[in-house]
Every structure is written in C-alpha cells, then in structure tokens.
A and B are shown apart, each in its own frame.
Chain A
Amino acid sequence: MSDIFRGVWVVAYRELLRFIQERSRLFSSFAMPLIFLVIFGAGFGETIGAMVPGVNYLQFMYPGIIAMTVVMGAIMSGISVVWDREFGFLKEILVSPLGRSGIMLGKSVGAATISVIQVTVMLILAPILNISLSILMILQLLLVVFIISVSISGLGLLVAARMKSQQGFQLVTQIIIMPLIFLAGVFFPVNNVPLWMEFISKINPLTYGVDAIRQIFLGSEAAAALSVSIFGHTMSVLEDVLVVVVFGGILMLIAIWSFSRQE
C-alpha cells in the first residue's frame, strides 16, 4: 500500500515539476481559455444578451471555459503517459518498485493539481466579468475541480493505457473527446437543444462536471434554469460530482487494469 502512495506522489511531483519548467505550457494553459472567452464572448455576447435575468453570456461561458480547461487538463494526463512511453522514461518508472496503480493515479493527481493551479490563476478574470467570489466558494470550487479532474483523467488514462504514439492519442482526442467537450454545455445550455443532442449531452459525463462548476460560480438559484435536469429533476452540485466520480472511477479501474496487463 505504501508503495502505491509513494507512486502517486513521486509521479505527481514530476508532473508538476515538468509543468513549472515548461514556460510555454504554463502560458498556453492560460492563453487558450482567454482566447475562447474573448472571441466567443465578443462574438455571441451582444446577440444572445442575458441567458437568464442576471446572467449574461460571458458570465455563463466563463465557468464553462474553466470546466473545459479542467477536462482538457485531465485528458492530458493520458498524453503524458504516451509521451513517457515514446521517450522511454516510462521504462524507468516501470522497473522501479512503484506499483502500476500508483503510477496511473500519480498521473491523475498530477493533472488535477495542475488544474487547480490553472483555475486559481483564471479566477483573476472573475471580477472583470462581474462574478463575485467568496473564500468559501473558492475553496468549494478548487475541491470540486480536483475531484472532477482526478475522475475524468480516468478517460484520458484509459485511452493512453495501450496507446503507442502521441499522434494516435491526438486522433482519439479529436474524434471522441473534443465532441464530448462541445456537447458538455460549455458554450450553450443543454436543456434547449434538439432532442438527439440533449440525449447525447445528458449521457455525457463531462456535462455534469461543467454543470457542477457553473453552479458553484453562479449560485444554484441563478443557475437553476441553466442547469442540467433529468426527467424534471435539477441536479445539485453534489449529485453532479457523484455522477462524474462514479463514471471516472470505473474508467480509472479499467485503465489501471489494462495498463498493468500491458506493461
């Protein structure tokens, strides 16, 4: 057991070290969401106006973009495994006494920690968008971000468990993961869309991650009309997180199993 914990922190520690040392990653992690916000916000903001009374489009989209950053970061935990495999470092990890599950969870915790840092930086934008923050809210947000990130990295790690090349991983990301992100309610609420889209969105676990983060930002009352409702029941933050954790947990288990068998 202690081997697994050591694995988690050693691997996560290295992920962080890498993140801090690569200036470009540090920068792009912040620039990408900003670009999305500025372009989409400016493009749609005027046309759409208020989503519900008191929530304009930018205020709606901002939590969505934050959630998107978290989801992308979590998926990237997978690319980090593929990267290590391609450049050989994975072997160094695999021949060490660290357990396989510790390695996978370490990648996941590493990605989650990076997400927490990114989200903290992105909070600077909140006052500009007239979103009020409180200490309690920030703590709740960062906790939820961490949990969601660890869970969703299960998806990235599952894809990566047997993937040999980064190109392969990018391809899977583009045809499976990007659509999932777009259908997760980042740019529009998932309640007023064509039936087929609503169906896909509501079985898409990422939707619940986005919803949880948005509810924390906008407060459950303001967000009520925009939140995901299943058969008339509006999801609460806790229920949202639970959905993501169960889904991510299952994928993580399969990922660890698949990874241990392969390596």
Chain B
Amino acid sequence: MLCTLLLPTGGKATVNGFDVVKQRAKVRESIGLVFQDSTLDEYLTAEQNLKFHAYAYKIAKTEREQRMNELLELVELSERRKSKVSTFSGGMKRRLELARGLLHSPKVLFLDEPTQGLDPQNRRHIWDHIHNLRRKNNLTIFLTTHYMDEAENCDRITIIDHGRIIAMDTPDKLKDSVGGDQVRLKAEDNIKAAEELRTKYGISAAIDNDEVTFNIAQGEQFLPKLMRQFDNSLLSISVHRPTLDDVFLKMTGRAIREEEVSFRDQLKKMGRRGGH
C-alpha cells in the first residue's frame, strides 16, 4: 500500500509527505524498492536494467552515468556491468537491485526481506551496504525481515501480527517490555529452589527441562546478591538479556499457525530506521 501497489481499504497514509492514494506518482518518485523476489530482467545486462530504471524515473543523462558508476562501485558489481543478470548469483542480484532502488535518489527505501535466502557472507555484505547508505545519505530505510538479529540494527521496530500492529518501539524498550532479563538456574533440588525464590524474593519461577527460569529487571546485579544468600546448592546459573526473538515469541505466541495466509504476517516484523 505504501508503495502504491495496493489500494488501502481504509485510513490514510503519507510517504515523504505525499498521500498514497491521491498523489501516487509523487509517492512513486520518492521511494526506492527492493522486493523479496527478484524483479530484474534476467535477459538484460546489469547496465541495461539500470538504464531502464533511469529512463523510467526520468534521470538526466549526465546524472545517470555518474550515479550508475557510483552505485555499481558501491555494490561491487562494476566489473560485471555488461553481463546478463541470468549469470548472477542470488547475492549479486540482490545487490544490483539495491543499486537500482537507489538510482533515482529516493527519500525512502523499502526493503522487503533484503537478505532472504542468502548465505552469511552475502547477508553481511548487504547489511554493510545498508549501514553505509544510511551514514552517507539522508535516507529513511523501511525494511521487513524475519531475522530478529537483523531487526536489532533498526532504530524503531514494529511487530505486526495478523495484520495488526502489536508493538512499536526501539529495540531496547521492546526488550524491557517482556519483563527484563531471564535468569536460568539449576539446583540440586529445583522444586525447593523455586520455593525459596518465591518466599524470599517474591519471584514466581517456572520449572521446565530441569531448569528454573524467571524474569527480573537488571539480572546482572541481582545474581551476586542471590548467590550470597541462597540456601539451596546451585549447580549452574546464567542470565540472558532477552533477544528480539524472545520479544517476538512473547508477543505473538509460540504456536506455529497453520493458515497459509498468515504465514507472512506472522513471520513479518517490520523494522524502521530513521536516517535523520
């Protein structure tokens, strides 16, 4: 909808100050897009794909050549500019699409799962480019991903479940919202340990898989205090800062939902990076 491919069923939205229904052409000029699936013409060369884009977005010739050279350099595809896209690997295609999405100097760059299906090297590569871009240009990047570790990079994260926004905040605040750090401990007698936690500290701990787990704010400071005074003998103890995975699971539930339609929206988590 924000990219003007779908008409909203209700409500209002603006991108770069333009209404997505009434000012579609303006919106289209302000945004760059990298889709989940390749949208390159594989029978054309990298250069021809970029040229097509430049013509479509009415980029003047001198500017076009300069931007093309710059961007191909940035995504490290300069040597392959005359090769057909069908000879490219998945990562190269994605990088070319990134370059293409930036060719017309958009204000907002939409990335739909930019690293989906790529190996770690390529993922790292793509992310280096994204960081680079953000530093150099005055650019807002709007991306969707289901890799939670990637979402960590964002300034602001929105979690969408079944088409509704259920949370929107910075990564740190989201982590706090799930109830602080998680502490896992093993004692000689887990049941007694849990009982002691409850009576001494008012903590309701759960026991699963031979472990006692509970959440507490500032777990690192709590642990030394706990160890000094704990009566039961401890075998092991660890503290976890919650990851975004935990946040996501907590908010959307653990169950894998079967419906086909919800596959995307349940996995989908939207991250936003403000470039300002």
Interface residues of A (CB under 8 A from B): 3, 6-7, 9-10, 13-14, 17-18, 21-22, 87-99, 263
Interface residues on B, range: 20 to 34
With known contacts A94-B5, A97-B29, A89–B55 Cβ distance under 8 A: no
Interface residues of B (CB under 8 A from A): 3-5, 25, 28-29, 31, 33, 35, 37-44, 48, 52-53, 55-58, 100
Given contacts A18-B44, A88-B40, 9 further A-B pairs with CB under 8 A are: A6-B55, A9-B55, A18-B43, A21-B44, A87-B42, A96-B57, A97-B57, A97-B58, A263-B5
Question: Can you list 19 A-B contacts (CB < 8 A)?
Answer: A3-B25, A7-B56, A10-B55, A13-B55, A14-B41, A14-B44, A17-B44, A22-B43, A88-B35, A88-B37, A89-B39, A92-B100, A93-B56, A95-B3, A95-B4, A95-B31, A97-B29, A98-B56, A99-B25
Interface Cβ pair total, 8 Å cutoff: 64
Which residues on the B side are within 8 Å of A3 (C-beta)? 25
Which residues on the A side are within 8 Å of B3 (C-beta)? 95
With known contacts A10-B55, A21-B44, A263-B5, A95–B38 Cβ distance under 8 A: no
Q: Contact check, B42 vs A97: say whether CB atoms are below 8 A apart.
A: no
Question: Which residue of B has the minimal Cβ distance to A94?
Answer: B5
Which residues on the A side are within 8 Å of B55 (C-beta)? 6, 9-10, 13
| Distance A219 CA – B240 CA, assembled complex (angstroms) | 89
| Distance A10 CA – B31 CA, assembled complex (angstroms) | 19
Interface majority SS (helix, strand, loop, mixed), chain A: helix
| CB-contact partner of A21 in B31, B39, B43, under 8 A | B43
B95 CB → nearest A CB, Å: 16
Which residues on the A side are within 8 Å of B41 (C-beta)? 14, 18, 87, 89, 92
| Distance A50 CA – B131 CA, assembled complex (angstroms) | 76
Q: Contact check, A92 vs B39: say whether CB atoms are below 8 A apart.
A: yes
The 5 closest A-B pairs by CB, nearest first: A96-B56, A88-B39, A92-B39, A97-B28, A10-B55
A196 CB → nearest B CB, Å: 44
Question: Which residue of A has the minimal Cβ distance to B54?
Answer: A10
B202 CB → nearest A CB, Å: 55
Q: Contact check, A91 vs B53: say whether CB atoms are below 8 A apart.
A: no
| Distance A60 CA – B106 CA, assembled complex (angstroms) | 57
| Distance A98 CA – B40 CA, assembled complex (angstroms) | 17
A30 CB → nearest B CB, Å: 20
A101 CB → nearest B CB, Å: 13
Question: Which residue of A has the minimal Cβ distance to B44?
Answer: A17
With known contacts A17-B44, A95-B4, A10–B56 Cβ distance under 8 A: yes
Which residues on the B side are within 8 Å of A6 (C-beta)? 55-56, 58
B86 CB → nearest A CB, Å: 11
Question: Which residue of A has the minimal Cβ distance to B97?
Answer: A92
Q: Contact check, B28 vs A95: say whether CB atoms are below 8 A apart.
A: yes
| Distance A197 CA – B42 CA, assembled complex (angstroms) | 44
Residue from A9, A17, A96 having most chain B Cβ neighbours under 10 A: A96
Which residues on the A side are within 8 Å of B37 (C-beta)? 88
